[in-house]
């Protein structure tokens, strides 16, 4: 039985979703998955990034993380996306990456990918759920299989109890308010488990 191949694809400006991605990768590896952490291409001008110390620090910290490509989507059995909310939907960088996968979609290569998503915002009702749902809407068009965490483990309540995917509130200093590490790892393990079921049943 071959291991599940998981791509953790994120966009992060202040480091929050980069950290969520790293926790997801840890949880998935604990579940036996082969994991790639990947960032989507940055669309903001370098001059803007250079003038924001937190943004620049995030870019520098992730300089060795490869950028996600269509080949990574094709490679993966499962994908976990992590994106901040922008006015209640995913960041434009993540949307642009997904919008460029039309070629894969047209070839049927997005079908039956097992997908889960995570998000962050600066207040508890800042659009995290809407952001995750907006991403899942695209995944329905892909023919993907959504592996939402629901309420499958008590750790989810400690993280705020978002059944669509782990979400976190970030304060004005860029620090996460809720303790979501365990919830992220549970979500990753659940995604890997569902992907293994799909992979085993597709033989």
Q: What is the mean pLDDT of residues 76-102?
A: 97
Mean pLDDT computed over every residue of the chain: 95
Paired sense of beta strands 89-90 and 114-121, if any: unpaired
Q: Per this entry, what is the length of the chain?
A: 203
Spell out the domains of the chain, with CATH numbers in brackets: 5-201 (3.40.50.360)
pLDDT 10s digits, 159-190: 999 999 999 999 988 899 999 999 999 999 99
Q: What is the pLDDT of residue 116?
A: 98
pTM above 0.75, yes or no: yes
Give the burial string for 34-51 (b: 16+ CB within 10 Å, else e): bbbbbbbebeeeeeebee
Stretch 112-127: mean pLDDT: 94
């Amino acid at each position: 039985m071959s291991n599940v191949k998981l791509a953790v694809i994120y966009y992060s400006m202040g480091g929050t979703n980069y950290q969520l991605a790293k926790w997801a990768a840890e949880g998935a590896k604990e579940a036996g998955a082969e994991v790639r952490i990947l960032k989507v291409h940055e669309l903001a001008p370098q001059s803007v990034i250079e003038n924001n110390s937190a943004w620049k620090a995030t870019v520098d910290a992730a300089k060795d993380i490869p950028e996600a490509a269509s080949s990574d989507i094709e490679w993966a059995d499962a994908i976990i996306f992590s994106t901040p909310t922008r006015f209640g939907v995913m960041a434009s960088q993540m949307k642009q990456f997904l919008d460029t996968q039309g070629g894969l979609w047209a070839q049927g290569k997005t079908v039956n990918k097992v997908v889960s998503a995570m998000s962050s915002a600066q207040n508890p009702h800042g659009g995290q759920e809407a952001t995750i749902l907006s991403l899942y809407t695209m995944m329905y068009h892909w023919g993907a299989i959504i592996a939402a965490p629901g309420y499958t483990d008590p750790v989810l309540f400690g993280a705020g109890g978002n059944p669509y995917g782990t979400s976190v509130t970030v304060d004005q200093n860029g620090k996460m308010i809720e303790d979501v590490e365990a919830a992220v790892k549970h979500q990753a393990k659940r995604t890997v488990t569902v992907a293994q079921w799909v992979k085993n049943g597709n033989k």
